[in-house]
Structure 1
Amino acid sequence: MIVLVDPGLKSTNLGDQIISDAVHREFVNPLRAAGVDVQTIPMHGHLSDDSRALLREADEVVVSGTNLLADNMRFRSPWQWAKKDIELTRGKLTTFGVGWWQYQTGGIDPFSARWLRSLSSGRPWAVRDEYSARRLAAAKVRALHTSCPTLWGVTRQNLPGGQRRVIATFTDYNQDPLADRRLIDLLETRFEEVLYWPQGPGDERYLRSIAGDEVRLIPPELAAFDAELREPSTAYVGLRLHGGIRAMQQGVPTLILSIDNRAREIARSVGLVAPSRHALDRIAALLDSPQPKTLHLPRVEIDAWRAQWVAS
């Protein structure tokens, strides 16, 4: 039995549901179709007794799609489970689409490196960018850059330019009201209609603080976001990485703006166009002269990593 630790279960961030959809499409569903027993438990919140029982019974545990890794895993782990619960994955653990928590100046500490190796199932850990793969390699944990599973079905990025309406996203966890207000002003000059989608639970309050109470909000639901993306002449410009990838999955012209290492390192790894939100001149230039961008996903590594599960 394989236990999948699913970021979309019990999460208040709709980006986690976007990741979960891709993980099931690209990994869980093919395995179940091949007759493999795959059970899911939540990444977020405290573990239930039933979830602990599944971890004890599991032959392998796959944790997917979050900022799971850091230089000091034993002492400041981004993984919110209690250490005794993480220990239930010892010798069984593989990651899928995870990445490093922010940029960290030091190398991984020896205790954390040994601990990660003790958790590993021996399969290569699939990570979302080359930066994370290098950090794991330094810890002597086998790793492959397979990008984020949300991008596996995406071949190119169409950039906004000439659309009538735009869906914008901002984030409450990394606020810069001056830069974000300047971006709003730019979007309002380029598009007839600007709508906003609160992907995270605190986004609406922050949006109202920078755009005013009359801001046009899409309901904080994935179905509502998808419906607006399907409207003709729609583009996406925003700070929410997975909101942007959801738009790209549907072929919507998209410009994701980097605010941390996640979009920045994915951009470096596969060729995504994701300028800093502070690079307003570059953002304006991209909106003026949009050119499609081919993404260069590591297809060989993706196919090899996925095939090993069915083969075994």
Structure 2
Amino acid sequence: MTEQNTPLIALLDTSVCTKNLGDQIIMDAVNTQLRRIYPRSFFCSLPTHDYLSSESFKILEQSPFAIVGGTNLLTADMWKYNQWKVSYKDYFRLKNVILMGVGWWQYQKEPTFYTRTLLKRFLHGNMLHSVRDGYTQRKLQEMGLPNVVNTGCMTLWDLDAEHTSQIPQRKAENVIFTLTDYKPYPEKDKYLFNILAKQYSKVYLWLQGSRDLEYSKSICGTRAEIVDPTLKAFDEVLSSNLDLEYVGTRLHAGIRALQHKRRTMIVSVDNRATEMGRDFNLPVIERKDVGNLKTLLAEDRATVVNRPVEAIEAWKRQFSQPNGSAL
């Protein structure tokens, strides 16, 4: 508690030190959902993309638990690939971490002994952990962590039937698209852009990643109108009066478009979109199947997201129980 008796909750914030604005989309949803659970609590953001400082650990000591918000932080070898910047030095200091919509980095082999040891130490042993897809859930359960539910990413939690019924079924006049700087495939991406250039009156390109602009020059030259690399700029286009839909390789840009009631087609470049598309009926096409995109765009298509409501409510409900501190 603070001196004003305001409950303090440590939030391991995946948008700090990030080069990917998709993390801002995730954390926007994290904060929205947590504020509904704890309207009077004080959330203090700590980094996941950088190592925790002594001041961070002081904050963690004041919080009953820490919640880590989304993205693909988990990996089979957290020694070699540590997107979540934790180390053996944190073993005795970091504890009672609760996952919220966290995912697994790519398809991998069995977790190492080091990874299993760290996660079993860090993760809360009694509270439910929320993961973004069934693949991540299985990985954790196979490690001996049974208290895991597949809630999907928090960005999906408000996409109920009332919301998605307002998403147009017919193809729009214009399109906003994205590329992925760390997953380049020039042949497929040029093919994708050329389809969009022929199918739409105007093509907008949002820069979600720090190197997207550099990569885009080799894909579309100057034939797309650049949307500034801020979430605010992206939201302004999505909320405008333009007859517009989204097509692109960035998963959370596509989900943001769905939040704005825009028809969407996400081109999967890794396990994230593939697994979430399979689990929750997101509009996803595999990159290898992009040759079918022209037909898919021409077809009328309803958007129906299968949210795992029971799992979401179970994860939320625990915070009103005694072991959730009822802050």
TM-score (norm 1): 0.92
1:151 partnered with 2:140? no
Question: Using a 3 Å threshold, how does the CA distance of structure 1 residues 160 and 203 change in structure 2: closer, same or farther?
Answer: farther
Which range moved further: 236-245 or 2-11?
2-11
Aligned position for 1:202: 211
Q: What's 1:285 paired with?
A: 295
Please list the CA deviations of residues 52-82 of structure 1 after superposition, one character each: whole Å capped at 9, or x if unmatched: 2212333211111121112223454331244
Evaluate the alpha carbon distance shift between residue 41 and residue 247 of structure 1 in structure 2; reply closer, same or farther with a 3 A threshold: same
User: Which position in structure 1 is the counterpart of 2:121?
Assistant: 118
CA RMSD of aligned residues (A): 1.9
Task: Give 2:310's aligned residue.
Answer: 300
Instruction: Give unpaired runs (5+ residues) of structure 2.
Output: 1-7
Structure 1 residue 89 corresponds to structure 2 residue 94? yes
Q: Does 1:7 align with 2:14?
A: yes
1:30 maps to which residue?
36
SS in 2 for 1:293: coil
Q: Give the C-alpha shift of residue 162 in structure 1.
A: 2.8
- The number of residues matched between the two structures is 308
The worse-fitting range, judged by mean Cα deviation, of 241-250 and 42-51 is 42-51
2:143 paired with 1:139: yes
Contact 1:255 1:274 in 2 (8 A): yes
CA distance in 2, matches of 1:31, 1:38: 12
Give the residue type in structure 2 aligned to 1:310: S
Contact 1:151 1:245 in 2 (8 A): yes
Provide Cα deviations, 1:102-124, integer angstroms capped at 9, x if missing partner.
001x2223443233222221212
Does the Cα contact within 8 Å between 1:150 and 1:245 map onto a contact in 2?
Answer: yes
Provide closer, same or farther for how the CA distance between residues 206 and 159 of structure 1 changes in structure 2, counting only shifts above 3 A.
farther
Give the letter aligned to residue 119 of structure 2.
L
- Asked if structure 1 preserves the Cα contact closer than 8 Å seen for 2:30 and 2:69, the reply is yes
C-alpha separation between the residues in 1 aligned to 2:290 and 2:124?
A: 45
Q: 1:82 to 1:118 in 2, by over 3 A?
A: closer
Shift of 1:36: 3.8
TM-score by length of 2: 0.88
SS at match of 1:45: coil
Report the alpha carbon displacement of residue 131 of structure 1 after superposing the two structures with TM: 0.7
What residue is the counterpart of 1:174 in the other structure? Answer: 183
Local SS of the residue matching 1:278: helix
Say whether 1:244 aligns with 2:251: no
**Structure 2 vs 1, CA of residues 86 and 96 (structure 1 numbering), >3 Å: closer, same or farther?**
farther
Change (3 A) 1:115 1:12: closer
1:170: Cα distance to partner?
A: 0.2
Once the two structures are TM-superposed, the CA of residue 44 in structure 1 deviates from its matched residue by 2.3
Q: Kindly, what percent of the aligned residue pairs are identical? A: 34
